[in-house]
Each structure stands twice: as C-alpha cells, then as structure tokens.
Amino acid sequence: MVEHGDIRVVHCGGSKINFRDPVITHDSRFLLCASGEAVKVFSTSTEECIHELRGHTGLVTGVLLRPSNHLQVYSSSLDGTLRLWDFTDGILIKTCVIGYPIYSFYASDKHENVIFIVASMPSDKRRFQLVAVHLPQSGDQMVEAQELSAVLSGVNPNPAAIAFGRGGEFIASVNDLQWSLEGGWNTFTCVACHPKDDCIATGHEDGKIRLWRNFNHKKEYTYSTLHWHHSTVSSLCFTPEGTNLLSGGVESVLVQWRYNQESERDFLPRLGGAITHITVSPDGSLFCTSHSDNKITIIQSCVKVSAVIQGLVKGDIRTDLMMDPRSKALVLNGKPGHLQFYSLQRDKLLYNLDIVQQEYIHESGLQQFEVVKAAFDASGSWLATVEERHQKAAELELNLKLWAFDEQTQSFVLNTTISAPHDAQITAMCFCQPTDSQTTLLVSTSKDGHFKAWQLAAPAHTEDEGPSWLCDFVSAYHGLVPECCSFSADGSLLAVVFQEVVTVWSPSTWELLTTLSQPPGAVSDLCFGRLSCSKYLLGTTASNLLCWNLLTCSLEWTTSMDVRRLVADPLSENMAAFCYQSGSTDLFVFKPSEPRPLFSHKAVCSGKVTQAVFAPREEMLESCEESSQWLNRSQLYFLTQQMDLMTFTTKAEEDRLLASSKQVSSSHWFSMTPFYLLLGKHRQQQQEHQDSDSSLWAERTALPQTSASMKELLQTPAHVLPSTSYLCSMFVQSLLISVSDARSEKAHAEEEMESEKEEEDSEEEMESSRSKPELAAAAATESDTPALTKAQARELRRVRKLDHSWLAGLLDS
Amino acid sequence: MASFKPTKIQVYPKLGEKVTQDTLYWKNYKAPVQIKEFGAVTSIDFSPVTPHNFAVTAFTRIHIYGPFSQEPVKSFTRFKDTAYCGRFRSDGQLLVAGCEDSVVRLFDVSGKVALRLFKGHTKAVHLTDFTSDRYQILTGSDDYTCRLWDIPNATELTTYTEHTDYIRCGVTSKLNRDLFITGSYDHTVKLFDARVEKSVITMDHGQPVESVLLYPSEGLLVSAGGRHVKVWDLLKGGQPLVSLKNHHKTVTSLALSSNGQRLLSASLDRHVKVYNTTNYKVVHNFDYAASILSLGLAPDDASIVVGMTNSILSIKHRKNQEDSKEIAGQQRRRPSYRVFVKGKNYVPKQDDYLVSKPVKEHLAKYDKQLQRFNVSKALDTALGTYIRFRKPEITVAVIKELDRRGTLKNALAGRDERGLSQLLNFIIGNLVDARFTPVLVTAAEMILDIYQSVIGQSPVVDRQLLRLQDLVKREIEFQKDLLEVLGMLDTMFASSLPRKESASASAPTVDPFPTCSLNTDS
C-alpha cells in the first residue's frame, strides 16, 4: 500500500446558496447569502462573488444586517457562534460564542444589542425555543454571551416561521400545528409581519395566504384570505413601506399583492425552480428570490430580472460526470431537462443547455422528461443526449438527441432528434474516439437487448437540410441485455458487455471478433487501456476487477474487490477504481500494466461512488513525488452518494492557490461608473507597469491607500466636499504619486528618442554627433561582428535612410 | 424569467414521394377526359402535323380526334374485322392500318374509303408503318413475315421471313428510308436494311416483344416485352445498355417525351412510368383504372392519351399558362411589400435616441391557451377544421403536450355530442397512422373511461364507437399478419445467410414496423 502523503480529499465548488434567505445591503450593491460553512458576498450588478466570509466551522444558518450599522453583518452557524463581519472588506470583527447550535436568528431595530436565536431545548433536542441573547459590549475579538433569556418555546426551527412586527413590537410565530378551519386542515408554512400596520400574513400548505388583523384583542381577531397559489406558499415578504406583499411557491411565479387592494396582483412567471425565499432590499428597489435549483434571481421592482446568480445544481444526477472537451467544463444534468456546464476552475456555472425544450410544469407528482444520458465526442463538436419520461401505464417515451457545436453562437444546436431509438431504456452510450476519422459513430445499448450504431449520414436529397444521424447497424447477442459499451482509444474496437460476456466488435466491418467471459457475475463497467496499455481491457464485476489482454484474448490478472466505478484518465495510462467496502468507498489509482497501485486512499467518503471523471488540468503540475504524480496532468472529480462534488488536491497545489488568492486584489468588483472607467484604465496601466517591472513592488503596496483616498473623495456627498479647486490638485496628486518612477523612466526614453531623431534629421548634424551612436553601434556589434569603418557605417545609414523614404513614398502613393 | 416554450410539433418524415421538378411537371395536367370506345384501344398515333390529331384504333374502327374535341373528327369504319395499328404518314395526309383479316388498308385522312388494299399476308397484320420516303409501307403479321409494299401501285416489294413467331411491333427509321426494326414474339428485335436481303442486327430481348421505340437520334432503341424495358445501343451493333424492370406486368407501350429527356412506359399493371433517360430512374408514375394497351404523347407533351383494355380512352390535357396565371393573380391581392417595410429600413442618425421595443413573440393560438392553462380550449383550438384535416401532427402534438402536463383527462372531459363526435372522428381518422398511434391510443382509452357512462345515449357517438372498435380489430389483424410475414422473412434470411462457425450472433434484423399494442377494451 502506498501512503497517500499529502493528497487530500476536498469539497469542490457549488455549495448551496439557497439554504437561507439572502440579504441585500442598504446600498443595494451587494447580496449576502449563506453558503455551506461560509457567507458569500455577491455583487448585484455583475453577479460575481466578491468575498467569501470564512470562519465558521459549522453550517451557516442565517445572515442578518446589523440594525445599528449597515456595513456590518451578523451570521449564525450550527457551530454555536454568532460572528460579526465587515462585508465590504471581508473582515471578521467579532465572534460571539453562544454554546448551542443556532438554527436561525433574528434582530430588530427596537432591541439594540439583542439577538433572538432559535436553539434546541436543553430537555428535548427535537423541540426548539426562541432565546434572546444580550450581546456583551466589549472590544474583544472573541466574547461569550452570558445573558440568555428564553422568549418562546416550542417554535419551528424554519426561519420563515417567525417574524417581528412593527420594528420589533411583537413577535409572530407559527408552528406546524394542524389547524382546522372551514372544515379543512391546514398547516402554516411561513409568516410575515407588516412593517407599519398591525397585520400578519401567513402562508399555508393549501396555497392560501391569510392576513390577520386585530390580534391585540383576544379572540376578536379577523382575517382575510388571498388565494392564487395552487400548492404550498413557501415564502412571504412585505416590501419595506408595506405597500406590497410578495409571495412565492412551487409554481415559480412571484406574485405581488397590493396591500389593502388584494384583487390587484402582478405576476412574474417562469423564474426557474420553486421559490424558496423572497427578500426585498431595504430601499425596496430590488427583490430577490431563491430557488430550489440553487439559484438566486435579482429582480428590479417586480418588472424584470436583472441578474441571476446560479450555483451548481445538485439534484438527482443521473448522467455521468463528463468533461466538455472544448470549454473544459464539467457537464452534468442540473435543472430539470437541462445539462449544466460548470467551470471547475472558476467555480461558476457557465450555462445551461436546454435539452428537453418543453415548458416545465411546476406540479408535484407529474412525470417530467429527464435527461438520463449524455456523451461528448472526442473533439467536443457533437453531443448526444437521451431523455426519457416514464409514465405509469404508458409506454416509455425516449428521445435521442444529437447536438452539433455551432462555432458562431458558441453553443450546441440541435441536429437530429430520434424519437424511440430503442424499445426500452438506454443503458449506455458512447462516441467513437479517434479524432482523425471523418465519420463519427455513436453506439447506444438498450435494455431491449439490442445495441445500435448511429452514423452521420449525408443528406439524401440535395435540399438545404444538412446531414443528419441515421441508424447504421443493429445487433444483439443471444438475447442478453447489453449493459455498457466502450470504444478503444484508436476506435478500432468496440466492446459491448452482455451481462457476463464481453463481446468485441470491429466497427468498420461490424464483425464479432471475440467474446471474453469470466463468470460468475455480470460485468458492470468496462474500460480500454490507453497509450502504452492499449492492449488491455478492464472490466468490473460485483466481486472482481478483471483485466484482459486483447492480444492473447486471455485474462491477464484479476483482483477481488467490489469496484463501483472505473474511470480512465484520457491523458495517461492511469485508471481510478472506486471500491465499495463496508459502508465507505476506497480509491485505487493504478496502471493496467503494473500490479502495484500508484495511489490508494482508504475511506474517501461514506456511501457509494458511482460517478467520477478525470478533468485535464489547464497547466501541468510539476510534482515528482511518486504518490501524487498521477495528479499532474489531470484532476479526479467524483460525486458522493450525498451528491457532493469532491476532488483530490496536493499540498503544493493548495499552497499555490492560497498564494494566488492573496495576490488577487479586490478591485474587480467595482460597478461600471464613468469614474470607474477612468480609474480602471489608470489602474490597468499601473498594473502593466508592475508586470513589466517587478522592481516596483514597493509601489504596489502604496496603491490601496491612494485608491482609498480617491474612493473617499468620490463617495462623499457633493455638498459636504471642499471646493473643487482644492480637490482637483489633491486628485491629480493622488494620480501622480504612483507613476513618479515610471515617469522619470519615460522621460529618459523620450530623451533618447529625440536624440536619435535628431541624428537622422540631417547628414551634417549626424556627422557632428556621430560619436554617440557610433559608440552604441560598436557596443552592439563588438561581440560577434567586426566593427564597420566610418565610411561603411555612413553608407549603411544612407542606404537605410534612402530605403525609408522610398518606402514612405510608396505608402503615400 | 424565461419565455414560454411553445409546444413542440414533431417533424415526421414526409410520407410519399418527394416533390421534384418532375412531379410538378407531370402533375400539371387537367383531370382526364374519358371516352368510351367500342373495344380495347390497341393503338394511338399522333399526326406529325398540326393540329396534331390522333388516330385511335379500337376494335373495328379507327377514330381521329382533334386536340381539344371529345367527339371524333373522323371515323374509319370499313374494316371487316378488328383493326390494328393505325398510323399517320409523316405529312399527315395518309393513314395505314392492319386488320385481323390480313388485309392492309391505306386511307386518305379526308376520305372515307380505303385508297389501296394490300393483300398478301395470310394472317392478322399487327404492324403497319410508312417508311421515311413516304412511298413504301412496312407491315408485320402473325404469319411470321414482314413485308415492304409500294404505295403507288400497291405491290409487294420484299418479304422477310426471319422471325419465327408473330410480329407484333416495329418502327421505321425517320432518317433513313431503308432501315426498319421489327419486334416479334420469338423474343428478338431485328433491324432490317431494305438494300440487303436479311436482317442486319438481331437483339435478344428475352421476352415476347410488345413495343419498340427509336430515339430521335436513332442511335438508341428501346424495346418492351414481358416486364422488361430494354435499351439497346444500335451504333455499337445492338449492345444492351440498360434493362429496366419497374412494372410487375407486361409492358405494352412506349413513348418518348417531346424533348427526349423522359421515357414513358405503359403496362398491363395499370401504371405509366416516367423514366429519366440519363440515369433511367423512375421519376414519376401515373395510375390508371385498367390495364393499359396503348399510350400516346402529343408533341410538347400537350396531352397524354392512354387506351385501356376496358375500352376507355383517357386524355389528359396539359394546364395552359393562362390558368396558372389566374391563380397567381388571385394571390397578389395582398398589401404591397411597401406596407410591411414601412419605416423598418430607416437607418438611425447619429444623434437619434434609439428606443428599443421588445420583440413581440408570436405564439400559436393553442400555445396561448396552454400558457394560460386553458386545457380544454387549447384542445378545441387544435381540433379546428383546418388543423385537424391538414396538419393532424399539430393536433397530436397538443394532445401529447396535454398528456405530459397530466391534464389530458380534463381537456377531454365535459364535451357535448358534437364535440365528442368531432374528437372521435379525428381519432378514428388517425389512430392507425403509425406516427400518431402511441399518443392517440392513450387519448382513446381516456375517452372511453370518461364517457363510458353515457354510452347508449347518443346514436351518433355509439356509431362512432362501433367504428372505432371495428378499426382496432382490423388493425390488430393487420399487425398479426405483418408479424407473421416478418417471421417468415426472418426464417428466409436465416436460411439464406452463409453459416459461419463463429456466427453466434443472431442475424441483424431491423424491425420495419413498430408494433402497435392496442387494447381492445372498447
């Protein structure tokens, strides 16, 4: 066994951003949301992530602006701490240790220095209570909250279930008590309080919204009902002035109700997944909805969507993990009926490709079309997708779609739709690999016992329709069900697994070359060796990993392990096998030709791993350690049973990343104002200077200071600024400081240029000032060529001058 | 906010033939004029001079029709027995015809009584023609001989006795007065030269020859006999060029289109096929009611005349230019192009402030209803008369979409007698279309579920349900038969394939018919 040394399994990308409701800052420029163990700060205009506020050691359960200071934000976590951050700079200001896991928390304007948290009851972990916490006033970084007083017990840990009304005068809490009214049972799902009025809005599971009034008097409360949603109302929110009520649910329609004129409503339909949270910016200009597909939509006053922050969608992933050969993006199915292209380097969703191209009906219990298989060809110019919809008591609807990459639009365009390509579900699909051949071949295997080869055929008629895909070959083997298929690296062999039998075919003649079999157990995964190991064919059964030698058609070696997933690195001979053993998964990386594994890692994660992929690196690593060499060319990503995307990193790589992240200045996120354009250009120039001349390192440290002064100048309201004449000099000066060195250098260069110009102006002058260029010329030529005589040099210069003027004349004509 | 995605209308491969230039050309004929003759029409010949009258030989008469008249302009009735092969001379003045009584008669087109009688054959004369010098007549007879006659003094010039069976067809060269070709039931086609005593070229057709045709250049010869049409290269000494086997019964007649680009063959299988003479592919096909015996094509393809065994003469005239112009005139009654481009081609100037207008997306009517979740109305829209009859794929796509949304039942329910019978009509019309079957079967089952309580209340609906049941029963029978045929074919394939020792894989089979599983719960 090889020690795994400094290689570590890390989470990669795409934590949930829709776990708790996001917060929009007072200036509407930033959006803060809880994302795993961090709080992410996004720009509302550019959709970019600006900071990650890291420090919590548990899941972050809430984010709230500090009522007394709008530039600070509280966050709560299951690790039992409240932290106060400065989100503009991404600095942790204070940590307050509570000691209990916090499930959600609230603050109000009325109660200064009091935070209301929801924690589990000490007596019963499954019941929760609302606790008021008095934050200790001390300057320390780390404080412990002592004053705790229970406010309400038996509350719902869902943050939507508690709301503060009228700036903290009362607390409304709903419980998931079954509540009987008008003969029907109803469950509260969320609550919102009117900011000015004594009115509480509650959302219910039957899609109704109830507005409660007069609740100050016992038993005399009144309520009115609003009904539009057809299923559960998942979120409610009043606008800051209380003129509108926003509601959302599984229909993915944002409904805006006029307060007191409830018959008038506005709709914003088709926002994406089901709406989970709605928030409004403090000035009411921006609305923001979180969706179940890990997406945050920013809406400008219920009119139009201005920005979409999309995370990695990790629902029920049924496709394999794939790499798009062109964009090097990870491809997997995300939103229903879509394929998502996720950039691993930038941790950002590039785009969603609509595969099904049908209106998505938001209704529970409805069988939708799902993308179940997808495959890229080697060059990334073709994408094949399979979508299926299985309805009870109806035939399986199956579509095979082939997409061609369009250079102009830089996306995939539907080329061929084959409805019902097989009679039963498609079990596997792969493209022929070689890049040199003209014809592309796709093989699909199905549970109906057949495998089919599809080929791009020229148009049958000389009409304007392009080439399309046609079935080229159909075959079966003794009525067995083919489980998977694989092409060899050069495309000369096709292996199709029929339960226990591996059949090897020649794609050019469609001849059955040989059959390989190693009972007992059906072969579940198949892989051809690559490069120097291309003579090997690897297969996995429930109990064994098998390796056949294709030259001798015999079994080369076998080991007994329960391999769930076998992936081959496209750039090397390496293979990775994920073995499931006693509740957790082990990883072995090996070469088919060598008996000893290159790398092994026990208990990579709990549960089974069924999806994994090798992603080629953009730049190769230079690691020479034996155990981490396999990570040099490509990186291994895999999905755990809990749908977490994980990867392996080395220590060296992490250090490098850390260093580079420190270098990245925070200057990227400024919004595009005319000043920004001015300053941005200026700063770019500076950076170019710095890149060209690394000796100006000292300059770099001075930069933030000057920019800060400028920022201050630009952000101060105009009426409190001193006179312009005074400011101007200051402004100009602030600009000049940073380029002082460069300017002197530039001046020097200019002098030189001038002198050279002068010497070419006239021959007489040139002769007089000959000594200096002569010297330079001598210095330049000394080393390799004999020095020219003066006459020769003059001749040369004249020739050059002549040549020059002639060329200029030609250009003029 | 994504926009509404319209219902996907499945594009089905177009059934039937593709629309090509040829189809357009050969379809551009009016409805046929049908004239009842006295017996089977054995020969049609067009006069080479305008107005291109044509002689129709049927039973004991020869009728001459004008290009547009439906009544014969002229009739020759002085035959004692069945007449054969009435042909015009190249100046259109004389007409010759053979007869069952072995006498060949020569008529003046304007006269009534035969000008000359050529007696010498001992059996029926099926072939008569003028040589290109206009002074001689070629005849071929069932007595195995063909003869040349002199017209002015009605004497026999030469007799050729090379054929060993009936001579039923032949043609004289239009370029050389001495050359003629005969086709016989002894399976041969012979080229004779009057200057020598015997045939120059003999070609073996392989079947009794029914018709021969010379290309205008006379380099190529086409012969028809049995199911085959064969093309021979005369300049290469009668080398076979192509053999066409597109008919499934005896080919009886041949014709060449006016520009020589298309060859037409008529057959007893009731079809006329049009071939491209460059690649000899069938480019068009005409269907007729009965077996065709004779075929004639007017100069400039102005009309196609076909004579059939049921003594019907069918004349199709070409649509003339004026008719098509009239249609074009009707289409022009639309707003002019200027109305649509008004203001659209304005190029904004430098200082103009551009107000962008959101592009209004067009949705079909049923999509608008679907967008509002009005499922019944969406189905009603999709069942509109035009869509239902002309574009059933749209109706089916909407039904499929409703099914996907899980609201098909709601859309189908609550219909009155009229609506229901309309729906059932559509289903009956399209259920057995293999492209629509999977969708419509679900819909039909749902309709039966929903409306089973009202069965028996409306005679209209009941009748349609019975029709539906009948249809399903018949379709199941068909499918059974098809599967049987498929099984037979499989056995034949399996037995015909060469057996390899290692051929353990089953023979690759492509299922051409998607098997429909229809439930007979009606």
Structure tokens, A484: 């998977």
Give the model's pLDDT for residue B485.
96
Taking alpha carbons only, the member of A238, A287, A247 closest to residue A265 is A247
Strand A91-97 with A142-144, pairing: parallel
Average pLDDT over residues A572-587: 85
Q: Which of A25-29, A606-610, B280-284, B373-377 has the lowest mean pLDDT?
A: A606-610
Chain B residues touching residue A357 (CB < 8 angstroms) = 5, 8
CA B29/CA B35 separation, integer angstroms? 17
Which amino acid, one-letter code, is at B462? D
A553 touching chain B per CB within 8 A: no
Instruction: Classify burial at A695, counting beta carbons within 10 Å of its beta carbon; exposed 0-12, middle 13-18, buried 19 or more.
Output: exposed
Who among B1, B438, B508 is closest to A475 (CB)? B508
CB contact under 8 A, A474 and B18: no
Average pLDDT over residues A295-320: 81
CA A349/CA A342 separation, integer angstroms? 4
Give the CA distances from residue B429 to residues A233, B426, B433, B478, in Å, rounded to whole numbers and listed in that order: 45, 5, 8, 17
Which amino acid, one-letter code, is at A1? M
Give the CA distances from residue A48 to residues A1, A44, B128, in Å, rounded to whole numbers and listed in that order: 44, 8, 94
DSSP code at position B318? B
Instruction: Classify burial at B418, counting beta carbons within 10 Å of its beta carbon; exposed 0-12, middle 13-18, buried 19 or more.
Output: exposed
Count of C-beta atoms within a 10 Å radius of residue A68: 10
CA B397/CA B388 separation, integer angstroms? 12
Give the model's pLDDT for residue A552.
87
Start-to-end CA span in chain A (Å): 78
Comparing A438 with A198, which gets the higher pLDDT?
A198
Average pLDDT over residues A50-65: 85
Count of C-beta atoms within a 10 Å radius of residue B202: 13
For residue B520, is pLDDT > 50? no
For residue A2, is pLDDT > 50? no
CB contact under 8 A, A476 and B370: no
For residue A177, is pLDDT > 90? no
Report how many Cβ contacts below 8 Å link chain A to chain B: 64
For residue B229, is pLDDT > 90? yes
Is residue B56 within 8 Å of residue B97, measured between CB atoms?
Answer: no
Q: What is the DSSP string of A104-164?
A: EEE--SSSTTEEEEEEE-SS-TTSEEEEEEEPP----SEEE---EEEEEEEE-SSGGGEEE
Where b means 16+ CB within 10 Å and e means fewer, B243-280 reads ebebbeebbbbbbbbeeeebbbbbbbbbbbbbbebeee
Beta bridge partners of A373: A386
> Is the N-terminal amide bond of A616 cis, ω within 30° of 0?
no
For residue A356, is pLDDT > 90? no
Give the CA distances from residue A769 to residues A210, A238, A634, A766, in Å, rounded to whole numbers and listed in that order: 95, 82, 61, 5
Phi (first) and psi of residue A41, to 5 degrees: -110, 115
Query: By CA distance, what is A390's nearest residue in B?
Result: B404
Is residue B232 within 8 Å of residue B241, measured between CB atoms?
Answer: yes
The C-alpha of B319 sits at a distance from chain A's nearest C-alpha, in angstroms, of: 27
Chain B residues touching residue A367 (CB < 8 angstroms) = 406
Residue A709, helix vs strand vs coil? helix
CA A157/CA A161 separation, integer angstroms? 7
CB contact under 8 A, A478 and B506: yes
Comparing B477 with A524, which gets the higher pLDDT?
B477
A272 touching chain B per CB within 8 A: yes
pTM for the whole structure = 0.66
> Is the N-terminal amide bond of B72 cis, ω within 30° of 0?
no
Q: Which of A306-315, B266-275, B376-385 has the lowest mean pLDDT?
A: A306-315
Q: What percent of chain B has pLDDT over 90?
A: 44
Cα-atom radius of gyration of chain B, to the nearest Å?
32
CA B7/CA B394 separation, integer angstroms? 9
For residue range B192-220, what is the model confidence (pLDDT) as tens digits? 998 888 889 999 999 999 999 999 888 89
Who among B1, B502, B506 is closest to A268 (CB)? B1
Taking alpha carbons only, the member of B353, B377, B349 closest to residue B364 is B377
For residue range A189-227, what is the model confidence (pLDDT) as tens digits? 888 888 888 888 888 888 888 888 877 766 677 888 888
One-letter-per-residue 3-state SS of B163-216: CCCCEEEEEECCCCCCEEEEEECCCEEEEEECCCCCEEEEEECCCCEEEEEECC
User: Which pLDDT band holds residue B398 (cuts at 50, 70, 90)?
Assistant: very high
Question: What mean pLDDT, rounded, does chain A reach?
Answer: 77
The C-alpha of B148 sits at a distance from chain A's nearest C-alpha, in angstroms, of: 51
For residue A181, is pLDDT > 50? no
Give the model's pLDDT for residue A5.
53
CA B330 to the chain's CA centroid: 29
Who among B8, B438, B505 is closest to A477 (CB)? B505
Who among A270, A361, A471 is closest to B1 (CB)? A270
Give the CA distances from residue A672 to residues A280, A595, A693, in Å, rounded to whole numbers and listed in that order: 23, 59, 28
Give the model's pLDDT for residue A3.
43
Strand B282-287 with B271-276, pairing: antiparallel
Give the model's pLDDT for residue B503.
41
CA B303/CA B306 separation, integer angstroms? 10
Who among A305, A357, A515 is closest to B5 (CB)? A357
Query: By CA distance, what is A510's nearest residue in B?
Result: B508
Instruction: Classify burial at A89, counting beta carbons within 10 Å of its beta carbon; exposed 0-12, middle 13-18, buried 19 or more.
Output: exposed
Beta bridge partners of A412: A405
CB contact under 8 A, A359 and B4: yes
For residue range A497-525, what is the model confidence (pLDDT) as tens digits? 988 888 999 888 888 888 888 777 788 88
Count of C-beta atoms within a 10 Å radius of residue B390: 9
Average pLDDT over residues A141-151: 76
Structure tokens, B137: 């007549």
Who among B401, B505, B514 is closest to A475 (CB)? B505
Q: Which residues of chain B are at the A interface, by a Cβ-Cβ cutoff of 8 Å?
A: 1-5, 7-8, 10-11, 18, 370, 401, 404-406, 438, 442, 502-506, 508-510, 514, 517
Structure tokens, B347: 């190029």
For residue A88, is pLDDT > 60? yes
For residue B500, is pLDDT > 60? no
For residue A783, is pLDDT > 50? no
Who among B2, B506, B517 is closest to A270 (CB)? B2
CB contact under 8 A, B8 and A269: no
Average pLDDT over residues A272-280: 88
Assembly ipTM = 0.72
Give the CA distances from residue A393 to residues A419, A448, A622, B445, in Å, rounded to whole numbers and listed in that order: 19, 18, 58, 11
- How many residues in total does chain A contain? 813
Cα-atom radius of gyration of chain A, to the nearest Å?
34
User: Which pLDDT band holds residue B324 (cuts at 50, 70, 90)?
Assistant: low
CB contact under 8 A, B504 and A512: yes
Mutate to test the interface with B, among A352, A354, A359 (most CBs of B within 10 A): A359
For residue B483, is pLDDT > 90? yes
Chain A residues touching residue B3 (CB < 8 angstroms) = 270
The C-alpha of A484 sits at a distance from chain B's nearest C-alpha, in angstroms, of: 18
Residue A99, helix vs strand vs coil? coil
Is residue A289 within 8 Å of residue A250, measured between CB atoms?
Answer: no
Phi (first) and psi of residue A719, to 5 degrees: -75, -15
Q: What percent of chain A has pLDDT over 90?
A: 3
